[in-house]
Structures are given as C-alpha cells and as structure tokens.
C-alpha cells in the first residue's frame, strides 16, 4: 500500500515507503517465479537489514519519547521475526523446504508490518512529531542505513546506543563477508528476469564494479561511484570492442552560466560533415540534477553527432545540492541563448537548431522550449525527450512495477529530488518541473516531439503520459517504447541493440525537422 498523505522526498516516512515498495516488487518477482531467486533473496536481505537498523536506531527511540512504543510493540517484535527468517534464508538454498518455508513466512510478516506501518504508525508519528521534523529525521535515517549492517543480526541489542555500537562493529564485518561471498557484486544488479540478455549484461557489469547504493550516500560520495557509462565500457572491454566512437572533433568552451559565472559547453562535430553550415542540437545530460556530467553522456553525444550530421552541444550545468533548483534550468536556458547568438561562429546554422536530453535532461529540454515560447524567442525545430522526468510526484504504475529497477530505483529518485529541491519545497510544482500540470495552451507551443520510454524505469509512466498530453494538445508527437531495457539505456548503442534503434529514431526525428522549410519547422 502507499502513504495516504503528502510527503516530501527526503521525509523519513517517504523514504521508508520507498524501501517498502522495492521489497514488495522483489517479492512479486519471487511469487511469479521469474528472475534469479538466490540474488533476489540476497538483495532483500541487505535491504531489510539496513532498513531495520535505521528504523530501530532513528525511528523507534522517538516512538518511546512520544508514547508510541507500547501501542506499536508488535513492530519491534516483527523486526526480530524478520531477522530470524533472513538468517534461515541465508543458511539454505532455493528449493529446499526450509528456504521456501522461511520465504513464504517472510513475505507474510513483512507485508503485515508494512500495512500497519504505512496505514497507522507513520501517519500517527507524523502527526505527533510534526511535518517540519520529517526531513531532518530522513537525513538521520539515510545516515543510519549507510552505517548499518548489511546482514541480519538477531542477537544484537534492539534499539538505543547499544544497537548503534553493535551496528558500527558489525557493518565492516558484513562488508568483508559480502565481498568474500560476492553478495556486494550482486547488490546493484536487476535480478527481476525482466531485462533482455544485452541489457542484463550491462547492469551485471555495473554491479560487478561494486558500487555502493547511491541512495544512501552523500552527493560527494555518490559521485565517486561507477556510473552507467562505466558499465558500458566494461561490457565493451569484455567483448574486445574499441571506443569511444570517433567523431570529427570534440572541443570544450567556457560560456556564461545562469548566475554570472561560467559553465563548460562541450561541442561535437560529426565524423563526415556535410558541406556548409551544420544543424545544431543541444543535448542535455541526466543524473537527477545531482549526479553525473558531460563525460558520463559522451557516448550519446558522439552517436547523435554522427547519426544526424549535426553539431552536438552539451552544457555542463550546475548541480545540486551545491546549486539547487532552478540553477540547472537557468544554465540550460542560458546555454541555448548563447548558442543562438554564436552557432554561426562554430560552423552551425542558427536557423536549424533542436534540443533534447535524457532523464532530467529531457525535463530541461521541454522546460527550455516552454520558456523560449513564453519569451517569444527562437524555438527549437524539434525536441527528443528520452525517459524524461515530467513531474515531481510519484506518478503512475511504473513507480510500483519498476520500484526495484536499476540503475534508477524509487529510493534513488527520491534521493535526487531531496537534494535537487533542498530548501525549496514548492519546486516540484514549478512549471519547469511539473510538466504534467501544463495547460493545453502550454503544451501546444511545443515543437515536434519524440518521447522515448522503456520498461524497467520508474519514469516510464510519466514520460508516456506527457506524450499523450502533447498529442492531445495538437503537437506532432511520436512515442517509442522499448521493452526489456532499463533507465540509462540510450547511450549504450555499442552493446545494446535497443539503444542503437533509439538513437536511430532520435536522429531521424531531428533530420526530418532540419529538412523542413523554416516556416514549417515549428
């Protein structure tokens, strides 16, 4: 079940519900008989162990302070029961009676625990503690998860300073145990069985690099972890494939940002450019406004430059939490306006310009188009939105059926929003974020749009809804859906057929717009 009241992404009850959604979806895979049964259970074990430790050291002590301990005594008892069952699952193998019996009981206990917690305990907790304290407790919750054990310890103290000490001692031991057993190399993969073989190889490669869970780290720590580009590079290396894809040239320029400083603009020219001025595409990278940079999305830009014959320009906008919303959006708009004035100097045609991006880059592409239309400025001839974020809300069925997806899961999405909107609780309702809240008139000014979505992606439903909304508003809209692949698949064309096809679709959309007479372009 879901929380019945509004929360902000960094609130402790919001974070708890995200964890619940991940485990519930993994239970569903197990019940459906799909995926890697051993890996799914190992992932559930890690998630529940860290989650239980964080609740017991952050949430439950406050329950005692506010008089909730006695009335919710069953919650702590269920945690103990869960830990005991996880030990049994760790000591047995799928198919063995003890394993299957413990798993069936674990599902029942966890689901009962979640129903009580989300339906009664968390609403009461918020009411008694106050909504304004939820965010600081959320930070404490993530810190506890980051420092907590990754395996169950039923004999450890339950709550208070003794459990914190026990957890601090157990955590490094668990990390060694996970490394020796290989569990840490499985933690970041997608064990659902819903990915095709090529996509599975990519997420497995990423997991083999042993990244820590982004959603429990600080932004600085998370940025040091291997990203989706590293996974693709590993698969390429394993297959003996050379890279990166050669282009005509790559150059970094320094241009103004939206705050009076500077930002880097990376400029790609195609390997075999046509004679004369080339069309220009501004391609905006993803990363939830917090992670990644223009290096991470280098492969997408190289591929699009060669496939479109256009100059690709990638802005290295400011990121949160150092620069929260709307800093990234301001930098992107500033970069577009600079390009309009300077495209000719770099060999581009200012009359043939387009825009696009991946994930939050797709969000900023559409938001930029709206801002330009409202300011009566030159518009992009076309836009391509690859698995775009179109609302700050947890929208649609993909928030449930892809809650456990990798590399983007529901907890990580909340973590990104928590940092991107820090100190600005109304940011998610701003038109630059809440694209699904646009009026028909706002939608109607969009240029011809291609929206690309994929199956194992929490953003799938909102991207598909935005495509539907644009089409209903009379915008020339194309939607391409790719089953069996995951968020961040677009740049993996060297090792993933669906990525190659998606890039071909994007290139065809751009080329068609560039070939139209200027008056008919928008």
Q: Which of 521, 346, 338 is nearest to 446 (CA)?
A: 521
Task: Tell me the H-state helices in 375-409.
Answer: 398-401
β-bridge pairing 249-256 and 262-269: antiparallel
Structure tokens given for 49: 């162990």
- Tell me which DSSP letter residue 53 carries: H
Q: Is 509 a catalytic residue?
A: no
Catalytic residue (one of 404, 487, 505, 509)? 487
CB 12 within 8 A of CB 142: no
CB 490 within 8 A of CB 300: yes
What distances in angstroms separate CA 400 from CA 105, 255, 437, one per listed residue? 22, 41, 21
483 forms beta bridges with none
CA 315 vs. chain centroid, Å, equals 20
What distances in angstroms separate CA 14 from CA 68, 193, 407, 505, one per listed residue? 19, 27, 20, 37
What distances in angstroms separate CA 161 from CA 53, 184, 254, one per listed residue? 12, 27, 51
Catalytic residue (one of 192, 300, 359, 461)? 359
SS3 state of residue 398: helix
Q: Is 112 a catalytic residue?
A: no
What distances in angstroms separate CA 257 from CA 8, 10, 424, 430, one per listed residue? 29, 28, 21, 21
Structure tokens given for 177: 């145990």
Question: Which residue has tokens 């223009």?
Answer: 294
What distances in angstroms separate CA 279 from CA 274, 310, 330, one per listed residue? 10, 5, 23
* Whether the bond into 230 is cis, omega within 30 of 0: no
Task: Tell me the H-state helices in 66-196.
Answer: 73-91, 97-116, 122-129, 134-147, 160-181
Catalytic residue (one of 298, 457, 469, 505)? 457
Rounded Cα distance, 128 and 141, in Å = 18
Give the pLDDT score at 159: 64
Give the pLDDT score at 173: 55
Structure tokens given for 77: 């008892």
Apex CA 108: angle with CA 105 and CA 109, to 5°? 85
Give the pLDDT score at 77: 83
What are the b/e assignments for 439-452, b being 16+ CB within 10 Å? eeebbebbbbbbbb
Rounded Cα distance, 478 and 183, in Å = 42
Structure tokens given for 318: 């400011």
β-bridge pairing 278-284 and 477-486: unpaired
What are the b/e assignments for 401-419, b being 16+ CB within 10 Å? bbbbbbbbbbbbbbbbbbb
Cα dihedral 439, 441, 447, 452 in deg (nearest 10): 20
Low-confidence ranges of the chain (pLDDT < 70): 1-2, 69-76, 156-184, 519-522
Segment (H or E) for 219: helix 219-222
User: What is the model's pTM?
Assistant: 0.94
CB 17 within 8 A of CB 113: no
Give the pLDDT score at 154: 74
């Amino acid at each position: 079940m879901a929380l019945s009241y509004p929360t902000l992404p960094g609130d402790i009850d919001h974070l708890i519900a995200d964890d619940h959604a991940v485990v519930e979806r993994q239970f569903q895979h197990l019940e459906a008989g799909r995926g890697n049964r051993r890996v799914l259970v190992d992932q559930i074990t890690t998630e529940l162990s860290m989650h239980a430790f964080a609740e017991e050291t952050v949430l439950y002590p406050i329950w005692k302070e506010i008089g909730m301990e006695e009335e919710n005594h069953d919650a702590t008892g269920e945690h103990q029961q869960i830990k005991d069952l996880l030990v049994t699952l760790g000591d047995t193998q799928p198919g063995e009676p003890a394993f299957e019996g413990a798993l069936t009981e674990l599902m029942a206990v966890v689901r009962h625990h979640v129903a009580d917690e989300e339906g009664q305990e968390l609403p009461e907790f918020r009411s008694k503690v106050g909504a304004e304290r939820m965010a600081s407790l959320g930070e404490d919750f993530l810190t506890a998860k980051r420092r907590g054990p990754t395996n169950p310890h039923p004999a450890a103290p339950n709550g208070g300073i003794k459990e914190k000490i026990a957890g601090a001692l157990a955590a490094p031991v668990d990390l060694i145990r996970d490394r020796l057993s290989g569990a840490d190399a499985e933690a970041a993969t997608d064990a659902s069985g819903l990915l095709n073989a090529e996509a599975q190889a990519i997420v497995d490669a990423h997991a083999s690099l042993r990244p820590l869970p982004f959603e429990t780290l600080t932004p600085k720590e998370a940025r040091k972890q291997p990203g989706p580009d590293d996974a693709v590079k590993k698969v390429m290396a394993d297959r003996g494939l050379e890279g990166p894809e050669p282009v005509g040239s790559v150059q970094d320029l320094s241009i103004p940002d939206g705050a009076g400083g500077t930002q880097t603009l990376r400029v790609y020219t195609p390997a075999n450019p046509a004679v004369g001025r080339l069309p220009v595409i501004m391609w905006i990278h993803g990363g939830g406004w917090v992670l990644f940079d223009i290096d991470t999305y280098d492969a997408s830009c190289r591929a699009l430059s060669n496939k479109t014959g256009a100059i690709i320009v990638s802005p290295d906008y400011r990121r949160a939490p150092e620069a929260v919303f709307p800093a990234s959006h301001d930098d992107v708009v500033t970069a577009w306006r600079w390009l309009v004035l300077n495209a000719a100097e770099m060999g581009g045609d200012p009359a043939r310009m387009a825009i696009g991006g991946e994930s939050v880059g797709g969000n900023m592409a559409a938001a930029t188009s709206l801002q330009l239309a409202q300011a009566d400025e030159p518009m992009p001839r076309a836009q391509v939105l690859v698995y775009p974020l179109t609302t700050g809300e947890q929208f649609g069925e993909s928030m449930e059926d892809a809650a456990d997806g990798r590399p983007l899961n529901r907890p990580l999405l909340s973590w990104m929003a928590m940092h991107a909107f820090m100190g600005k609780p109304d940011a998610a309702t701003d038109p630059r974020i809440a694209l699904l809240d646009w009026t028909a008139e706002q939608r109607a000014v969009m240029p011809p749009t291609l929206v690309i979505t994929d199956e194992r992606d929490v953003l799938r439903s909102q991207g598909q809804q935005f495509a539907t909304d644009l089409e209903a508003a009379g915008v020339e809209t194309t939607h391409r859906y790719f089953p069996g692949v995951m968020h961040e698949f677009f740049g993996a064309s060297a090792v993933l057929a669906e990525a190659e096809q998606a890039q071909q679709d994007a290139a065809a959309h751009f080329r068609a717009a560039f070939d139209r007479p200027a008056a008919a372009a928008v």
